[in-house]
Structure 1
Amino acid sequence: MVLELTVAFFLLVGAVFALIGSIGLARLPDFYARLHGPTKATTLGVGGMLVASMIHFSAVGGWSFHELLVILFLFLTAPVSAHLMAKAALHLEKRDSDEESA
């Protein structure tokens, strides 16, 4: 019973974070705000769901490191890719504003 409640808790927390991140992606006004929603909230949402999966499958059939590796890669690549997209957008907007003033 405790295991099932723990898995349900992590699934619900993950789903709520993923929903908030998805709503932020759809509703926020500009690129930088829309970039923030999926990067932070959806990363935590998927992380919560993967933790629930790890707990469930460790109790059912033994430890699997697949979920742990996915969490590790997700938490490493999401901030880096968001940073690169933000830097590219800053660079492109800077170039556009320079062309307008010339």
Structure 2
Amino acid sequence: MSRFDALPPLVLVLVAVLLILGSTLAFLGAVGLIRLQSFYQRLHAPTLGTTLGVTLIAMASALLFSFLGGRVVLHELVIVVLVVATTPATLITLGRAALRRDRTKEDPTLPPVQRAHFTPPRD
């Protein structure tokens, strides 16, 4: 008899659903990374897949080990916070670096730079 036999069936089903959804989202992010054409399009798929996929998988882990241990397990919350905080920041940094590189190469496919027009107030 394993420790999982003592768990309620509803908890096992919920953990399984969260794991399947999380791994599916992470897989779709990986497929998007391979299938999309440009660098800028490739940035979005793994970012969304990673953030949502890791969040769902961590929720499944926290739920399972909370029921197995008889206490609330929140270690996974640290993982989720770090992934949710760093993944979008990395996306923005990579996107800006690529845009700067392409602008210095004067890539004709990029839209023109839009500058804000500042008009000083009149006295």
Q: Same fold (TM over 0.5)?
A: yes
Compare the two structures and name the one with the higher helix fraction. Answer: 1
TM-score (norm 2): 0.76
List structure 1 segments (4+ residues) > 3 angstroms apart after TM superposition: none
Counterpart check, 1:74 vs 2:83: yes
Instruction: Give the aligned partner of residue 97 of structure 2.
Output: 88
What secondary structure, in the 3-state scheme, does the structure 2 residue paired with 1:97 have? coil
Unpaired stretches in structure 2, ≥5 consecutive residues: 1-8, 108-123
Q: What's the C-alpha RMSD, in Å, of the aligned pairs?
A: 1.1
Unpaired stretches in structure 1, ≥5 consecutive residues: none
TM-score (norm 1): 0.91
The aligned amino acid for 1:91 is R
Larger relative contact order (CA 8 Å, sep ≥ 6): 1
Which one has a bigger Cα radius of gyration? Answer: 2
In structure 1, how many angstroms separate the alpha carbons of the residues matched to 2:77 and 2:50? 17
- What percentage of aligned pairs have identical amino acids? 37
Instruction: Give the aligned partner of residue 29 of structure 1.
Output: 37
* Contact kept in structure 2, 1:20 and 1:42, CA below 8 Å: no
